[in-house]
Amino acid sequence: QVQLVESGGGVVQPGGSQRLSCAASGFTFSTYGMHWVRQAPGKGLEWVAFIQYDGSKKYYADSVKGRFTISRDNSKNTLYLQMNSLRTEDTAVYSCAKNWGYFEYWGQGTLVTVSS
Amino acid sequence: QSALTQPASVSGSPGQSITISCTGTNSDVGGYNHVSWYQQHPGKAPKLKIYDVSKRPSGVSNRFSGSKSDNTASLTISGLQAEDEADYYCSSYRSSSTWVFGGGTKVTVL
């Protein structure tokens, strides 16, 4: 069965950096686009970024463009999100999700708290 | 990037039908058939209920159905059950290769 397991969350100071990972299993990772989606505490879902199956195309929400970078290593079945210049408003649970037009499967997420 | 518009809450009695609306623009809901719906129970990951406006993934009850008219998509839950009490989010592909979610709707089973 499809499994997506995020890791790398924690507490980081404003202006700091954090790298999240999403380990995928149960499907042919290299043939699917992948997303990052976040949810601030008590708030709704917000799309963050998408990467095409081969890594050739990447798209970002305006709120993270220029600060976050999505990438993938198909040899390791792993998706990444490099987050730089973090702000307090980036505090959220970050989840990875499979597919292109919709979010077919989701991981449980990893909490990133940006606080001094 | 403004969110799609959903009602904050919808309620119904067991066995009844409820409908959740999701209003966007010609650049998202009205322009593409990539509207999807998600159910989220507290502390859990969202689960896909409807994709491409009206398609149900394998294993999803046929009590869940989706539709779209112009810039508004809808999710209907028929035969409401206690387990349907959750938050529901719509999502749409948007021009410029981005995606957008609705603000979420809390469904209460009375």
pLDDT tens digit string along A7-56? 999 999 999 999 999 999 999 999 999 999 999 999 999 999 999 999 99
Q: Kindly report the nearest CA distance between residue A48 and chain B, in angstroms.
A: 9
Put simply, the chain B residues between 17 and 46 with a CB less than 8 A from any chain A CB are: 34, 36, 38, 45-46
Q: Kindly report the nearest CA distance between residue A42 and chain B, in angstroms.
A: 10
Check residue A14 and give its pLDDT: 97
B99, B101, B106: best to mutate for the A interface, most A CBs within 10 A: B99
Contact A50, A70 (CB under 8 A): yes
Q: Kindly report the nearest CA distance between residue B76 and chain A, in angstroms.
A: 19
Going by pLDDT thresholds of 50, 70 and 90, the confidence category of residue B1 is low
Interval B41-55 mean pLDDT: 96
Distance, in Å, from the CA atom of A9 to the CA atom of B51, rounded to the nearest integer, reads 30
How far apart, in Å, do the first and last CA atoms of chain A sit? Answer: 40
Check residue B95 and give its pLDDT: 86
Chain B residue numbers with beta carbons less than 8 Å from the beta carbon of A46 are: 101
Distance, in Å, from the CA atom of B76 to the CA atom of B99, rounded to the nearest integer, reads 22
- The H-assigned helical ranges of chain A are none
Q: Which one-letter DSSP state was computed for residue A89?
A: G
Check residue B96 and give its pLDDT: 84
A42 CB burial (10 A radius; 0-12, 13-18, 19+): exposed
pLDDT in tens, A30-41: 999 999 999 999
Contact B100, B28 (CB under 8 A): yes
Query: At B36, phi and psi to the nearest 5?
Result: -135, 160
Look over chain B and give the mean of its residue pLDDT values, rounded to a whole number. 96
